[in-house]
Structure 1
Amino acid sequence: MQEIKELKEMLLEELDLIVRTSTNLIGKISTNHLDYRPRDNMRSLHELVLHLVSVPSTDLLILQEKGEEEVRELEAEAAADHEPEQWIARMKNGLKDVRSYMEQLPDEEFLQKKTKPFYLDHGTVQAKWLIEIVTHAQHHRAQLFNYLKQQGYEVNMFDLY
């Protein structure tokens, strides 16, 4: 159905926007601020960036029912990246992989195929997984925005659109 394709494309466009704006924010970061941590119980700026750029790839592995070990390996690979260009490339590649996976799904599978993550005892349909990836990335982009604001970076709402 055309409506399902349009909905899927709207969600993928939103993820495109989140990746573009996230990578623009990452490009503003001075390396001497990477150790910034708003509170002891929160991620450092560097840890947050590594998590954010891994969201598309990691969430895709999880929805594809990969095990915890494979997800941890991907996170370890991301932690080995030390340059903003590497972080940005990782997030863009993850977006490309999510887009490719979602676009190849037939409408029926997008709406009805359930996959179960290693950490839950029930599955979730692919459409909801795509929503989860979008909201997960958006959540951490907002955290990044706030971290940068707290460090005095010149960022505003226009950096999010």
Structure 2
Amino acid sequence: MQAVNEIKALLLEELDHIVKTSAHLIRKISPEHWDYRPQPTMRSLLELVEHLVSVPSSDLLILQESSEPAIRKLEADIAEDNDKEALIAWMVSGMDQVRKYMEELPEEEFLHKKTKPFYLEHGSVQAKWLIEITTHAQHHRAQMFTYMKTLSYEINMFDLY
């Protein structure tokens, strides 16, 4: 089914684009703004960036049915780095892992193999997981963009495309 591989490739291309544009935005952040928090109940800019860069690798661990402690360890390892390039490297590495995993999946497994995260009673097929990873990263990239706009960074929609 050539169409399945084309859809998989398009989703991976979009996720790769999100990683590249996120890296571009992260490089613009001044360390003095790491503590910025729009509301007391929201993440700081640094916490948001740490979460964003963890999305590919942590979501991959989740879909591979890793334990909650394994995922929390990954998040803690990422939180130890507050150097922009180190954080970007985490996201790029996670993207590479997602690409390898998804490209190696046979079409039948991509469409029909269900895996269950530790926090839900039901599972999702691998194709849906790839959509989830892509939209999850896009969501947090948009949050970061909004934080940066609020802080008066010179950014616009062209930083996203």
TM-score for the superposition, normalised by structure 2: 0.99
1:44-102: per-residue Cα shift (whole Å, max 9, x none)? 00000000000000000000000100000000000001200100100000000000000
**How many residues are paired up?**
161
Q: Which residues in structure 2 correspond to 1:1-161 (within 5 Å)?
A: 1-161=1-161
CA distance, structure 2, for counterparts of residue 47 and residue 82 of structure 1: 10
CA distance, structure 2, for counterparts of residue 47 and residue 121 of structure 1: 28
1:109-139: per-residue Cα shift (whole Å, max 9, x none)? 0000000000001110000000000000000
CA distance, structure 2, for counterparts of residue 85 and residue 159 of structure 1: 18
SS in 1 for 2:133: helix
CA distance, structure 2, for counterparts of residue 81 and residue 2 of structure 1: 41
Superposition RMSD in Å: 0.3
SS in 2 for 1:133: helix
For residue 141 of structure 1, what is the amino acid of its counterpart?
R
**Sequence identity (%):** 66
SS in 1 for 2:155: coil
Q: CA deviation at 1:20?
A: 0.3
SS in 2 for 1:81: coil
CA distance, structure 2, for counterparts of residue 107 and residue 119 of structure 1: 26
SS in 1 for 2:42: coil
CA distance, structure 1, for counterparts of residue 125 and residue 69 of structure 2: 23
CA distance, structure 1, for counterparts of residue 114 and residue 152 of structure 2: 44
For residue 53 of structure 2, what is the amino acid of its counterpart?
V
Flag as ranges the 4+ runs of structure 1 deviating above 2 A. none
